[in-house]
Structure 1
């Protein structure tokens, strides 16, 4: 008979188990029942902490954010452009660490206030650079949405580093679309070299913000 005591079941332990399981089964295969099995508890025990799957996804997204910002102090000497590049590169890297990471993050509501400190610092930086508050919000949210959308599409092809979904072979796609030569060649610009394409797209967005708003 074992005398080993398990850690008490709390929201963080459930979220940690869910994130671990996410990489194995993806968002579609993630269920409260599967998480309960992973934790070796009965499914009703989870409902004490989360009323439904969306509540759990909210906590998972919050834990992903906590891990993302842990030890990553903001640089007070950043320009607003540098802050946008750093924030969105960091977000992409964090989301790519989880199968369907972007889908989990998208539309989820943070359950804590950890994000408020960074948000306040970012808005202070932007308004000091000459943005109105409304334009500061638009600039930060637009780059955020670009990154979230980019990673969602990227993970549709490459669920995790080293994996590639069937049907996304660029050469095979080009062969099948031989009657549409430009579209065939475009495959390499859509379904490959994601690092470079992300950087190019992010630069386009930030350059557009600067050209449109021209903050003093």
Structure 2
């Protein structure tokens, strides 16, 4: 079987869903593709190069969901759409957020959504620096949020036993940690609601910054 970068990256994403990030190796990927390891190393010198290509593939796949369908939508809608679209993109793959974190783009294609976002923010009277800080804050918040979310739910709908709510609650002395016990379900359940609330705080902060200019 002849392989190219796109085929290898696609198979890498399939393997990621099957075994997770730690168990994803170039040799295991070669076995999946039924090729010699040298065929993989011809395209990627190491796992990091493979992850760069895989992450870029994922971000290209999700790019259309990062901008509103209606370009004239309010800037708040643009900010919210970018955040929710990025979270959906990362959740599409097992360990998606950890896989994307720290990678370098192999294509400029994913940058187009950010360029459109910046243009909309500047058109809404944000300074360029404010637009950049807002976008990067949403990006970093979403990436770290999904990392934690996928630690609790490595597979969608299946909670890790390490995050069993009642077991975690039972380990906390109610006299010493009353608030932590109450926060247990807020922190480790209901991620859709908590993500939305956190994103709303970021957008509200951007609104306040914009008004103070």
The bucket for the TM-score relative to the shorter chain is over 0.9
Partner residue, 2:99: 104
**Displacement of 1:212 after TM fit?**
2.1
Distance 1:71 1:105 in 2: 17
Q: How many residues of Structure 1 are paired with residues of Structure 2 in the alignment?
A: 210
CA distance change for structure 1 residues 71 and 97 in 2, over 3 Å: closer, same or farther?
Answer: closer
**Structure 1 stretches of 5 or more lacking a match?**
1-5
Partner residue, 2:109: 114
Partner residue, 1:209: 206
Distance 1:204 1:32 in 2: 41
Matches within 5 A, 1:1-216: 6=1, 8-70=2-64, 74=68, 75-179=70-174, 180-214=177-211
**Displacement of 1:108 after TM fit?**
1.0
Q: Tell me, what secondary structure is at the counterpart of 2:162?
A: coil
Distance 2:157 2:105 in 1: 30
**Displacement of 1:73 after TM fit?**
6.4
What is the CA RMSD across the aligned residues, in angstroms?
1.6
**4+ residue runs of structure 1 moved beyond 4 angstroms?**
70-74
> Contact conserved, 2:66 with 2:113, CA < 8 A, in 1?
no
**Displacement of 1:213 after TM fit?**
2.9
Once the two structures are superposed, residues 76-117 of structure 1 have per-residue CA deviations (whole angstroms, 9 ceiling, x without a partner) of 112211111111111111111111100111111111111232
Q: Tell me, what secondary structure is at the counterpart of 2:79?
A: helix
Q: TM-score, normalised by structure 2?
A: 0.93
